[in-house]
Amino acid sequence: MEIIRGLHNLSRQKNGCAATIGNFDGVHSGHQHILTQLTQTAQSRQLASLVIIFEPQPQEFFAPQSAPARLTRFRDKAEVIADCGIDKLLVIHFNPAFCQLSADVFVKKILVDKLGVQYLQVGDDFQFGKDRGGNFKTLQKSGREFGFEVENTPTFSINNERVSSTRIRHALEVGDMELTRTLLKRPYWMSGHIQHGAKRGRTIGFPTANVPLHRKTPAVSGVFAVRLWGKDLGVCKNTLADASERQGINGIANIGYRPTVDGKKGLLEVHLFDFDGDLYGKLVHVDFLHKIRDEMKFDSFEILKEQILNDAVEAKKYFVSA
């Protein structure tokens, strides 16, 4: 998949495209349904399929303090979108200059002149342009004027409830990893490069692989049974595959701020069962399969060690029964 980072890197797409626009946070089952339809439409019309997203997401730009936690960082989002079969990803930098762009200019200068959009798929509640001057109806009008088709994205439901990023955040908040897996059509996972840490875990017999979160607030926290995998480990499966279809290394993880040691930055710490290799610098993916407990502060390292022993026992029981 070709990634176009910023409008300044966008050259005229001579052969046109079939496109969709959205946040695609989590790239959940509803998003996957949209992207599958888009790729099928693009192929049938012999067009490139293209997804337009914004960085930061609009809510993060307008209300950074109240914006919800992201389900996926950009790198993870792009990886899953690519695995959906999309040809191109346009990343528009959402900044003050872009916010001043009128809906009409966005359509004419970007969608028509640059992208050559012939088919556009958006939600019927979609709004865009300065002061949200554009919507689904104005896009339909522009489509008639410039010769492209506009279709609304269908609502995708599971168990008679709409699939949404908000619903997935709630499932993660209450630790319902089975519902999360159902809504995503895959386990919830994060990726990152293993870095050196303070190595406190080694002092209590639980060495950890440390993955910095690089995000303001993680969408999930606590202690989990996890599976670690990735290209650098020789396990390179489609990111949309279920955990049962991947090889990987089982373990237990804590994600949060490590209150026992007064941690300041969010960190994912993974202790692997039956593994003694070198992971430093490697890019890994971590599947969150079963929540064991919330993160908590302990009065001493000895009490923490005892709790981790109990957590590890529960995690191993999960893997035996799963």
C-alpha to C-alpha distance for 256 and 82, rounded to whole angstroms: 29
C-alpha to C-alpha distance for 94 and 106, rounded to whole angstroms: 13
Residue 210 makes CB contacts below 8 A (sequence gap 6+) with: 194, 195, 196, 197, 267, 268, 269, 270
Residue 235 makes CB contacts below 8 A (sequence gap 6+) with: 229, 246, 247, 248
Confidence (pLDDT) at 267: 87
Q: Mind spelling out the 3-state secondary structure of the chain? A: CEEEECHHHCCCCCCCEEEEECCCCCCCHHHHHHHHHHHHHHHHCCCEEEEEEEECCHHHHHCCCCCCCCCCCHHHHHHHHHHCCCCEEEEEECCHHHHCCCHHHHHHHHHHHHCCEEEEEECCCCEECHHHCEEHHHHHHHHHHHCCEEEECCCCEECCEECCHHHHHHHHHCCCHHHHHHHHCCCEEEEEECECCCCHHHHCCCCCEEEECCCCCCCCCEEEEEEEECHHHCCCCCCCCCHHHCCCEEEEEEEECCHHHCCCCCEEEEEECCCCCCCCCCEEEEEEEEEEECCCCCCCHHHHHHHHHHHHHHHHHHHHHC
C-alpha to C-alpha distance for 288 and 179, rounded to whole angstroms: 12
Q: Which CATH architecture has domain 2-158?
A: 3-Layer(aba) Sandwich (3.40)
Q: Where are the domains of the chain?
A: 2-158, 188-321
Q: What is the pLDDT along the chain (322 residues), one digit of tens a residue?
A: 999 999 999 998 888 999 999 999 999 999 999 999 999 999 999 999 999 999 999 999 999 989 999 999 999 999 999 999 999 999 999 999 999 999 999 999 999 999 999 999 998 889 999 988 999 999 999 999 999 999 998 789 998 899 999 999 999 999 999 999 999 999 999 999 998 766 665 555 678 889 988 777 889 999 999 999 987 777 666 788 776 666 789 999 999 886 555 555 778 999 999 887 788 899 999 999 999 999 888 777 788 888 899 999 999 999 998 7
φ, ψ dihedrals at 9, nearest 5°: -100, 5
Q: How many Cβ atoms sit within 10 Å of the Cβ of residue 22? A: 18
Angle at alpha carbon of residue 41, lines to 39 and 45, rounded to 5°: 115
Residue 276 makes CB contacts below 8 A (sequence gap 6+) with: none
Confidence (pLDDT) at 251: 95
Confidence (pLDDT) at 18: 98
Confidence (pLDDT) at 48: 97
Confidence (pLDDT) at 233: 76
C-alpha to C-alpha distance for 71 and 49, rounded to whole angstroms: 24
C-alpha to C-alpha distance for 194 and 203, rounded to whole angstroms: 19
pLDDT in tens, 115-127: 999 999 998 889 9
- CATH class label, 188-321: mainly beta
C-alpha to C-alpha distance for 321 and 128, rounded to whole angstroms: 49
Tokens 């007064």 found at: 262
- 87, 1 in Cβ contact below 8 A? yes
